[in-house]
Chain A
Amino acid sequence: MDKIELKNLLFLARINAKEEEYPEIIEKLKNTFGLIDEMQDLDLSDLEPLNNPLELSNVSREDKDKDRNEKKKFLDNSPEADEDYFNVPKIIE
């Protein structure tokens, strides 16, 4: 893994790391990649992919609403809000 790949990864995960921390992070990731490589070498052709370790079927609920409007509580608990909206830094695509 080189510096550019790591930067991309850190960006995707929104992890703010300093350049001097990079060697340590790369070292740790190498261990993880080593483990993945070991798994890649296994012959798994007879196995179904495991999507969840729990052998359960998901539950569902009836399509009935709980009519509770907690707008004020939610807005008050957010880092920044006005009386109607959550406020966030300007984002323009």
Chain B
Amino acid sequence: MAQNDTLIKGWQPVIGLEVHVQLMTNTKLFSPAKNQFGEDANTLVDLIDLGLPGVLPVLNEGAMKQGIKFGLATNAKIAETMIFDRKNYFYPDLPKGYQITQLHYPIVRDGVVEVNGKKIRIHQAHLEEDAGKSIHDKYDDKSVIDLNRSGVPLLEIVSEPDIRSASEAVDYLKKIHQIITYLDISDGNMSQGSMRCDANVSIMKPEDKEFGVRAEIKNINSFKFVEKAINFEIRRQIKILEANEAVEQETRLYDSIKDETRSMRTKEFANDYRYFPCPDLVPTNISKEFIESVRKDMDELPEEKQQRFMSIYNLNEYDAGVICADKKIANFFEEVVKDADIQLAAKWIIGELNALLNKHDISLDESKIDATNFSELIQKITDNTISGKIAKEVLEEIWATGTKVSEVIDSKGMQQISDEGELENIIETILNENNNQVNAYRSGKDKLFGFFVGQVMKATQGKANPGLVNELLKKKLS
């Protein structure tokens, strides 16, 4: 059970994650109202979402398909029969007084994902409806409710307590994010709430047979906060146990501003959700034929894409892995290499482009870079119009402005100097001005070769064709 490299002060953290993923269906889970983010309040609402008397929920086949896709992607069991339950509680953003969810017969059970070579089991993934949104700051004396989100389909993915450190939790979450975005079942946008995460955290001594008492941390809305919240909670529990006190089983809220978790002591007694099978929805059978039709409709998964990139583009495992980590980057790569050199394109995407994306912390589709323009950049390097060094400047420019590569090169006079006569003249001038170094080089100081290359580049503002400079310099200096 213990994993020695993850012990903290001799304690073994044990972590399980519950990830809520908003599915990208056209409509809600049980009503034909649109599922969309950012629309005017209460415009995407149906009678069913309001829970008016006499309405009946009807299951959205699209949501069912997306749940099955996730199950297939994680080698899970897809339920032959799934059953919806009511989870009862009163809150103004839940007009029916209960949430329709799945407790004992979820759509997906017993999945597994691989994170850094380790298998992390998925206990289950179930379909449920989201609640509406309460807004507390419009009036002093009352709250207001927007029901656009009410009934939006969620897939709640519950891991087994297989995770042993905060950083492993982040890697697991990134893996889930990768799978759902590859499957196109969610945009996985944590800041907009379409992927949300609760963490169950406990600690134990490596020799213990049973897990410690766990706390559930809610409200973690970024990859960074997952790590911080869990690490805070581990330290808190260590302090408690080392003072010979007991950890309470409770729900805690993560406060990202103070970087701490605190108890949600609003309830005097434990929640009693009184789950029971939803009488409005009879059990749903899922046929093998239906599952197979969903399988046929599935997009390529990260590992499959990586394998394909290795075989058809001849990329090495590492490069293919980096490019396929993000589906958008992988698709971009395939566009770029339609016209550009494969290995060079891979090198520039993995190196320079990724560096810019990381530095500005945005995703590719939020940037000004498009595949055609990037492809042209690679082509200009391949045909020696510009050197690699100049290409970096061009990339910075198209990153900032989105201007076409050819226009940037023309307007800034960045073309590489590949004219032999012109370069010979420049080299001769430099050699004449640096007699001492020339003599030293000829008498055996080979290292000075770099000095001459540098001088030529300086004289040409980096535009000289490096291959040609090397060749000509060797000839002149011999």
Once A8-B269, A60-B58 are accepted as A-B contacts, the answer to whether A65 and B34 lie under 8 Å apart by CB is: yes
A34 touches B (CB below 8 Å): no
- The reply to whether the CB of A47 lies closer than 8 angstroms to some CB of chain B is no
SS class, residues of chain B in contact with chain A = loop
Please indicate the chain A residues that have their CB under 8 angstroms from the CB of B143 in the complex: 87-91
Q: How big is chain A's contact interface, by range?
A: 35 or more
Contact B27 A65 (CB under 8 A): yes
B281 at the interface (CB under 8 A from A): yes
Q: Take A63-B25, A71-B45, A85-B145 as given contacts and tell me if A12 and B284 are in contact as well, using a CB distance cutoff of 8 Å.
A: no
Secondary structure of the A contact surface, majority rule? loop
Q: Are B142 and A61 in contact (CB under 8 A)?
A: no
Interface residues of A in 13-54 (CB under 8 A from B): 14, 51-52, 54
Residues in chain A near residue B41, CB distance under 8 A: 84-85
Whether a CB of chain B sits under 8 angstroms from the CB of A56 is yes
Interface string of A65-78 (1 = CB under 8 A from B): 11101110011000
Q: B429 contacts the other chain (Cβ, under 8 Å)?
A: no
- Given that A58-B282, A71-B43, A85-B42 are contacting pairs, would A63 and B62 also be in contact in the complex, using a CB cutoff of 8 Å? yes
**Given A65-B33, A74-B50, do A88 and B60 touch, yes or no (CB 8 Å)?**
no
Chain A binder among B9-17, B131-139, B420-428, B441-449: B131-139
A-to-B contact residues, CB < 8 Å: 8, 12, 14, 51-52, 54, 56-67, 69-71, 74-75, 80, 82, 84-93
Residues in B whose Cβ lies below 8 Å from that of A52: 83, 277, 279, 282-283
Is there contact, CB below 8 Å, between B83 and A51?
yes
B274 in the interface (beta carbon within 8 A) = yes
Query: CA separation between A66 and B63, bound complex, in Å?
Result: 16
| Distance of A54 Cα from B45 Cα, bound (Å) | 30
Q: Is B410 part of the contact surface with A, judged by Cβ < 8 Å?
A: no
**Contacts A52-B283, A65-B26; is A58 near B145 (CB within 8 Å)?**
no
CB-defined contacts of A93 to chain B, threshold 8 Å? 264, 266
Query: What residues of chain B lie closer than 8 Å to A61, measured between beta carbons?
Result: 32, 58-61
Q: Which residues of B contact A51 (CB under 8 A)?
A: 83, 105, 277, 283
User: Are A58 and B284 interface neighbours, CB within 8 A?
Assistant: yes
* Contact A91–B134 (Cβ < 8 Å): yes
Given contacts A58-B284, A63-B25, A65-B26, contact A90 B142 (CB under 8 A): yes
Write the chain A residue with the least CB distance to B141. A90
Q: Which of B103-160 contact A (CB under 8 A)?
A: 105, 134-136, 138-139, 141-147
A65–B60 CA distance with the chains assembled, in angstroms: 10
Minimum CB–CB distance from B372 to chain A (whole Å) comes to: 33
Q: How far is the CA of A65 from the CA of B90 in the complex (A)?
A: 28
Query: In angstroms, how far is the closest chain B Cβ from the Cβ of A60?
Result: 4
**Interface core residue of B60, B142, B266, B279 (most chain A CB under 10 Å):** B142
